[in-house]
Amino acid sequence: MKKRDKIIYWIATLWLALGMTVTGVVQFLRQPADLELMNRLGYPVYFLTILGSWKVLGVIAVLLPKFPLLKEWAYAGFFFAMSGAVFSHMASESAAMEYFGPLLLIVLTITSWYFRPADRKLAGVPGIAQ
């Protein structure tokens, strides 16, 4: 792995981990602004606890060494959660600024996944590990 790729991976991964951890903890704590957002988007409030828990567990999975299959699931979960957030904002006609966080986290998820080192990839799956 090139040094440049390793630097890109760690920068994207650490920013992704920070973003998912902070938003996950805030969702888990059910802050008033998040309660209002869930109501506006049409989701039940308990969804905050589920999302918050999944985000924090996903960060742990991505940062731990080994467990490549678990990492794939975590990256997929991050992508689905954030793309779901984008589409939820679109469906509820949210202001353009509401899209920034989820879109940034999608970009960081894809960047971290793409540049991950070989020991963090699934071995023996064509197109995933080289």
Alpha-carbon gap, residue 119 to 98, rounded angstroms: 36
Query: Which tokens is 120 given?
Result: 């963090």
pTM across the whole model: 0.89
Going from N- to C-terminal start, the domains of the chain cover 3-115
Question: Which residue is associated with the tokens 């940034």?
Answer: 104
Whether the pLDDT of residue 130 is over 50: the answer is no
- pLDDT band at 120; cut points 50, 70, 90: confident
Long-range CB contacts (within 8 A, 24+) of 76-84: 78/16, 78/20, 78/105, 78/109, 79/106, 79/109, 79/110, 81/51, 81/54, 81/55, 82/106, 82/109
Ordered alpha helix ranges (H), 30-99: 32-41, 46-63, 68-91
**What confidence score (pLDDT) does residue 69 get?**
93
Cα dihedral 83, 89, 95, 100, rounded to 10, equals -20
Q: How many helices (H) and strands (E) does the chain have?
A: 5, 0
Looking at every residue in the chain, the average pLDDT score rounds to 91
